Each structure stands twice: as structure tokens, then as C-alpha cells.
Amino acid sequence: MRLILFFSALAGAAWCLETFAGDQVLRVKASSEEEINKLQLLETLEHLQLDFWLRPSNPELPVDIRVPFPSLQAVKVFLESHHIEYSILLEDLQVLIEEEKQEMINNQRRERGTSNFNYGAYHPLDSIYAALDDLAAEYPSLVSKQTIGESYEKRPMYILKFSTGGTNRPAIWLDAGIHSREWVTQATALWTAKKIASEYGSNPSITSLLNRMDIFLLVVTNPDGYAFTHTNNRMWRKTRSKISGSLCVGVDPNRNWDAGFGGPGASTNPCSESYHGPSANSEVEVKNVVNFIKSHGKIQAFLTLHSYSQLLLFPFGYKCTNPADYNELDAVGKSAASALASLYGTTYKVGTICSTIYQASGGSIDWSYDYGIKYSFAFELRDTGRYGFLLPASQIIPTAEETWLGLLKIMEHVRDNQ
């Protein structure tokens, strides 16, 4: 028993070295534009080191803020002095992180004992990459693993190609984990890979889809950031690139695409969580995806998984005008959200990025749409804030199951409207 406790402690010491003891996540409800402006001012106060999980945009939407323990009193005084309503969503972030860490240790022990990969658990990068190898080995006539390049820290970026053969076929792109701390997205993508691979030939929808099109799936879009969330900082969002002239590290890879680059909703400050980077496509992880999409030439849909908020979004984010295909995208999105809700009753809001959340430039689906890929959608998965980025592993499979129904509805529409 002592040996087990020692190794558990050792594993814990190796993970998440940055502690969040006493940090709280506050849900703030602004009731006016004036209060939104006050919260946007709060966002600029760097000495408080606030981490806005949901940013202030309009009074209809909540604002979620991770407040470091040393800043709690100052932030609460600020909110109360301006009569801005707030509640505590997460009392102590480190408690949840420790629970998550212990669940991973327990799962690793179970997996070693049974040699079975548990799709309902969170895994480090090496385990995810091993699972990709296993899928390609188990379903060699359908699944192949390809490398689209390397990350900034020279980790390979692997995609799975699902194909029944042929060349120059139309295809669907799906990625996850561009923001590294959104662990339920990588886990959902991995479950989705197993679903597609294992049910081709028995599931009529999957079979029909793959008989007509290929699917490319990038499970971990930001491998450096994801590895860092396991070894150093569970709340890391950005890439890990070094920024010339700054001690701060990393770029928000979903502000780095060449779509209204450097516009509203992206920061020029390298220390910001939404820093857009020195130039469009400066991040090699973004550039690798762009190059793959362009070289393929027949990508018909660009789908990306984020968390959290339970939203299904389509362009535009960098501008607040509707896309030319608004009516079709809105209808497809609502159909997908309805299919998703049919399983567990999970409700999603559907709309353009700008009208649904806020203006945000340099995003991936704006780039893909402008590039000519009409069916460009971003899912914001569970939940709506109870756990935020620390969604319990017990919700991975239910999240993946319902998300698949939404994805499938979009994919079927793409298949039938090429």
C-alpha cells in the first residue's frame, strides 16, 4: 500500500506543477452595457492575473472568471462596489484538479491490468497517440495514420484518415483540442474515431458516408499545449511558441488564422490568453492544417470541437455580417442541435459566432469558410459552466455520444449536397 501511495504521489508531483489552491471560478452576471464595460476594464488589470473562461461580451451571457486566491478579495470588492451580481461556480479549483488527477491514476492502473483502452477517461498525449496506432492496426482496410507536420516543440501532428479506397475523393475535416485545456474535446474526438472505425459495415449511416467520402480527424491540434496541461499547468490554453521580445509564451491558435487577423476579439498582448501572434499562420500548428487543407483540394466540410458552453457556431466571428449561406448553415446547425439533444436532452444554442457570443477574429472556421468550405462549424461541448474546462471523466462518453449525432447530421447533409 505504501508503495502505491508513493507512486501516486510521484505521479501527482509530475503532473500539474502549477497549483490552483484557493482559486475560485466566479460567474458574473452583468445587467447592462455599463457593467460589461466595467468587466472589460477588469480584464485589462494584468496584476490580478485573471483567467476569463467566458469573456464579457453582452449582458445576455454570463462571464466566468478564474480568480487566483491572492486576487479574490480585490475582485469581489470591485464587483460589489459596482453592484455587479456574481456567484461562486467552483469553490477551490485545485480540489477538482486533484480529483481529476486521481481518476487518471486509477484509470491507468485499470488499463494496465486489462490492456483495454478506456475511452471514458482522460489520457496524456503518449497514450492518445498509442491509441491512434492501435486503431490503424485494428482496422487497416479503413483507417490509416498520417503526419501533417510537427508542432513548435517538434511533436508529430497525426491525423487519422478513414477511407474505403479510391483517389481524389471529397472529404470531411474534423479537429479537436486547438485550445489545449479543453480536454473533453480530445477525448470526444478519440471516441469518435473508434465509433467510425468499429461501425463501418454495420452502421448504415457511417457505411453510406464512407462509401462516398473520406474523413480526416486530427484528435490533438495543439500537442505542445496539451502535453503542458498534463506536466505543468492544467489551465494552459495556447501554443508553446516563444515570442520575440516577451517573456510570455504561446499564441492563441484560434486567433492566428488568416481571417480578419488582428481584428476585434484578439489581443496584441503576448501575455493575453487571446494573443493573436505576430502574424497570421505564425503558429506552425495552424500552418500545418492550412497546408493540408489546401493541398487536399476537396475538403467539403470543416468541423472543429471546443468546450465549453453548448453552442453550435458558424461564420462569421471576425465580422458581424451573416455569411452568404446563412439560411442553409442555420438550418443545418439547428437540425444537428436537435439530433444532439435527442439523446440526453442537452440543449445547444445555434448561430453565427458574432451574434451568439462575441466578435472574434482569426478563427479557424472563418478561414475555412472564406477559403470556400461552405460547411464550416464549431461545436462548444458540455457543459454550461458547472465544471467548465474540468468536466468529469464520467461525462466523456455521454458528451461524445450526443456530439456524434450532431456531427453525423452535418456530415449526411454534406454527403447529399456536394
209 contacts: CB under 8 Å, gap ≥ 6: 215, 408, 411, 412, 415
Report the alpha-carbon distance of residue 103 to residue 391 in Å, rounded.
12
Sheet order of strands, 156-162 included: 143-150, 156-162, 214-218, 171-176, 299-307, 375-381, 311-314, 349-352
Annotated catalytic residues are 380
Q: What does 7-49 look like in DSSP terms, one character per residue?
A: HHHHHHHHS--S--TT-EEEEEE--SHHHHHHHHHHHT-GGG-
Q: Is 371 exposed, middle or buried (0-12, 13-18, 19+ CB in 10 A)?
A: middle
In 3D, which of 337, 407, 400 has the Cα closest to residue 375? Answer: 407
Q: Is 188 within 8 Å of 400 (Cβ atoms)?
A: yes
Sign of the torsion angle spanned by Cα atoms 65, 68, 70, 72: positive
β-bridge pairing 214-218 and 299-307:
unpaired
232: number of CA atoms within 13 Å, CB side? 9
Q: Is 325 exposed, middle or buried (0-12, 13-18, 19+ CB in 10 A)?
A: middle
Q: What does 216-281 look like in DSSP terms, one character per residue?
A: EEES-S-HHHHHHHHHT-TT--S---B-TT-S-B---GGG-SSSSTT-TT-BS-TTSTTB--SSTT
Dihedral-angle region of residue 120 (phi above 0 means left; psi in -120 to 50 means alpha; beta otherwise): alpha
Q: Which grid cell sits at 357?
A: 457570443
Distance of CA 294 to the CA centre of its chain: 22
Q: Detail the DSSP E strand segments found in 30-179.
A: 51-54, 63-67, 85-90, 143-150, 156-162, 171-176
Report the alpha-carbon distance of residue 286 to residue 221 in Å, rounded.
8
> What amino acid occupies position 329?
L
